[in-house]
């Protein structure tokens, strides 16, 4: 049994989050960005990332314009209200918060799995964190050079 590649979020979700942070950081500078520029800055496969970003357009997390001088952008005034949880649930759904950690059909206080009370606290913290973290905050960290999206 060789190890899995299990991580907190799916690859789709990782790409989606990074793409949103990069687009937001450029929207702060009033720059619309093309998908090619996005993937250069987050090191992700272009067509796959385009699909994920496209899905987030449908979810109204990000806006797009087709054609020359087109690209993606996020409305400056909405950036403080777009929370990480919106992006994560749009891509990965809510099972990481609401599903049973041991895979039972539903997570249920009345008929808990053996790890239930251990999990609920961790998941509540994760949910709270994603709920209170805005795309604005993360984009500011990137723009100020405090954080990076590639290495």
Partner DNA sequence: TTTATTTAGGATAAATTTGTCTTAAATAGA
Partner DNA sequence: TCTATTTAAGACAAATTTATCCTAAATAAA
CA distance 145 to 135: 16
Closest distance to DNA from the beta carbon of 85 (Å): 18
The answer to the question of residue 28 lying near its own copies (CB under 8 A) is no
What residues between 46 and 105 interact with ligand FES by CB under 6 A?
100-102, 104
Q: Which of 96, 113, 36, 33 is nearest to 70 (CA)?
A: 33
What residues between 77 and 116 interact with its own copies by CB under 8 A?
84, 90-93, 95-96, 99, 101-105, 108, 111-116
End-to-end CA distance of the chain: 30
Phi and psi, residue 91, nearest 5°: -100, -50
The answer to the question of residue 105 lying near DNA (CB under 7 A) is no
Positive or negative, the Cα torsion across 20, 23, 25, 29?
Answer: negative
Residue 73 binding: pick among DNA, ligand FES, its own copies, none (C-beta 5-8 Å cut-off by kind)? none
What residues between 8 and 27 interact with DNA by CB under 7 A?
10-12, 15
Query: Judging by DSSP bridges, how do beta strands 63-65 and 71-73 pair with one another?
Result: antiparallel
Residue 50 binding: pick among its own copies, ligand FES, DNA, none (C-beta 5-8 Å cut-off by kind)? DNA
């Amino acid at each position: 049994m060789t190890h899995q590649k299990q991580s907190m979020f799916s690859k789709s979700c990782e790409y989606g989050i990074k793409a949103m942070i990069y687009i937001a950081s450029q929207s702060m500078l009033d720059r619309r960005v093309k998908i090619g520029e996005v993937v250069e800055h987050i090191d992700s496969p272009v067509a796959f990332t385009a699909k994920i970003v496209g899905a987030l357009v449908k979810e109204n997390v990000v806006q797009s314009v087709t054609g020359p001088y087109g690209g993606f952008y996020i409305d400056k005034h909405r950036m403080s209200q777009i929370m990480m949880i919106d992006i994560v649930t749009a891509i990965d759904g809510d099972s990481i918060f609401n599903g049973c950690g041991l895979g039972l059909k539903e997570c249920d206080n009345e008929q808990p799995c053996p790890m239930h009370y251990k999990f609920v606290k961790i998941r509540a913290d994760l949910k709270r964190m994603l709920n209170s973290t805005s795309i604005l905050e993360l984009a500011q960290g990137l723009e100020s050079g405090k954080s990076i999206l590639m290495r």
